[in-house]
Structure 1
Amino acid sequence: MTPAKTAVLYRMVMDKHVCPWGLRARHLLKSEGYAVDDRWLTTREETETFKAEHGVKTTPQTFIDGRRIGGYDDLRRFLGKPVRDKDRKTYTPVLVVFAVTALMAAAASFAGGTLANPRTPEWFVAFSMCALAMLKLRDLDGFATMFLGYDVLARRWVSYAYVYPFVELGAGVLMVAGVLHWLSVPAAMFVGIVGAWSVFKAVYIQKRELRCACVGGDSNVPLGFLSLTENLMMIAMAAWMGWRAWG
């Protein structure tokens, strides 16, 4: 009979704080078949004493066969699990926005009685504009700082970096409603063209490796094709809405 795998886990469990990484470590150990000796650190004093005794700076801490494995990331490495690199560039945030707004557009069409609604692609682009603007507005100052790294107009007129998300949001809302085309179409066309040229110049002419501010100033999305896509979508949407309104 194979002996049961056991692990000792020290984690903070206090009246006003339960360490989320401790919960994740316990869940990971149990999912890997370990019997967990779950030891709670119930006060700050007890926690500080534990850290000083073992020469560690953080909790939780896992011990297996008398050997200290370490914190949550160390435990994942020990178990052969991937560890998220916080500095790794990823397109995931943008792809998630596009996936969700596509579903929203489809749902709006379905609510109207058909998925073949000609407004479905319009709603998709407009919803995407609104969602991306919302992410920028979470931390307007952080967005502006990153945006200034590559936008050609913002570098000449810093206030544009603060105006841009509001223009994107306003144009998106008006396009969802299908009103005031005289305002939404030129606004979307203008920011789309400036944005597309800024990205194209920085990435494909200057060959710079930058992070994109499209989902906010705290993202690790690389400036590149998907960043250009956001702007090209706005240009195409503006052209289409203008053609429908006046063509």
Structure 2
Amino acid sequence: MTHTYQLEGMTCGSCENKVRSALLQMESVESVDVSKENNSATISMAKHIPLAKLQSQLAGVGAQYRINAQQHSETVETARSWLATYKPVLLIFVYIFTVTGLIELTSADLQWGRWMRHFMAGFFLVFSFFKMLNLQGFKDSYRMYDVIARKFPAWGYIYAFTELLLGIAFLVNFNPVITNTVTLIVMSVSIVGVLQTVLNKKAIKCACLGDVFNLPMSTVTIIEDGLMIAMSAGMLVLAI
């Protein structure tokens, strides 16, 4: 469900970021959109959160922020099927798999190692692109579950650029041992927070595609990270 509230006290972009970050840290909150121009906050949540609880959360970042229901509106979203929910990420995987597969099929010789390298390049370049569209939004969403970003929020920015650099490294075949080792470490750390979230059955938005799509954290995210770990480990073995 999505609720829109009147929110007073925001005077600048920094205020918007503080409010957004604070609300995103609440359990059951999936996405947040705030506007100082409209004095509003639109919150998507897995289950209803009392107004008093929202206000209490905001009080922790500034007494000037006041949320109320004077101009409150509620939109109950129609339940989507599993396929409809994960359509964006599934399409991306199909596109990358198909394009890299065709590249390999048109080559003089079929090499699984080369195909995996191209697939990894496509994966990191595409996923980092969506994160770059709204770095602040990605950082806020990522810190809700990542073990490093929770303690060091700036890791969200670093992670997005790390994905971009890994994509370029795989594309140009830069030192396979270093590239795959870094990938293995980064993705192994990333999957820890994902596993904790899914196993604890927390309703949290997955930040894999940045802040563009509202994808819930689930076993799909585990499979996605697990696939990258397995492929980087396999390529590392081939490179050694």
Distance in 1 between residues matched to 2:177 and 2:107, nearest whole Å: 26
Q: Is the 8 A contact 2:187 2:228 kept in 1?
A: yes
Partner of 1:220: 214
State how far apart, in whole Å, the 2-side matches of 1:108 and 1:219 are.
29
The equivalences for 1:91-240 within 5 A come to: 91-113=86-108, 116-118=110-112, 119-204=114-199, 206-240=200-234
Unpaired segments ≥5 residues, structure 2: 1-76
Question: 1:3-152 to 2 correspondence within 5 Å?
Answer: 85=77, 90-113=85-108, 116-118=110-112, 119-152=114-147
- Relative contact order (alpha carbons < 8 A, sep ≥ 6): 1 or 2 greater? 2
Identity of aligned residues (%): 28
Take 1:228 and 1:245, find their aligned partners in 2: how far apart are those partners? 25
Compared CA separation, residues 86 and 194, structure 1 to 2 (3 A): farther
Instruction: Kindly indicate which of the two structures has a greater share of residues assigned to strand.
Output: 2
Residue 86 of structure 1, CA deviation? 8.2
Post-superposition shift, 1:164?
Answer: 0.6
Q: Aligned-pair RMSD on alpha carbons?
A: 2.2
The alignment partner of 2:148 has SS state of helix
- TM-score normalised according to structure 2 size: 0.61
Which structure 1 residue ranges, 5 or more long, are not aligned?
A: 1-84
Q: Which amino acid aligns with 2:238?
A: R
1:6 equivalent in structure 2: none
Paired with 2:177 and 2:96, the residues of 1 have a C-alpha distance of 25
CA contact (8 A) 1:133 1:168 kept: yes
Q: CA distance change for structure 1 residues 152 and 127 in 2, over 3 Å: closer, same or farther?
A: same
Distance 1:216 1:87, change over 3 A: farther
- Structure 2 counterpart of 1:227, one-letter code: T
CA radius of gyration, larger in: 1
Moved over 6 A (4+): none
Q: Is the 8 A contact 1:195 1:228 kept in 2?
A: no
2:161 and 2:79 map into 1 onto residues whose CA distance is 29
Tell me, yes or no, if the aligned pair for 2:130 and 2:212 is still in contact at 8 Å.
Answer: no
Count residues with an aligned counterpart.
161
Contact 2:141–2:207 (CA under 8 A) maintained in structure 1? yes
Tell me how far 1:197 sits from its aligned partner: 0.9
Residue identity in the other structure for 2:153: V
- 1:117–1:221 Cα change, 3 Å: same
Q: Distance in 2 between matches of 1:168 and 1:229?
A: 18
Please give the per-residue CA displacement for 1:135-165, whole angstroms capped at 9, x wherever unaligned.
Answer: 1111111111111111111001111111111
In 1: Cα distance, 2:201 partner to 2:226 partner: 20
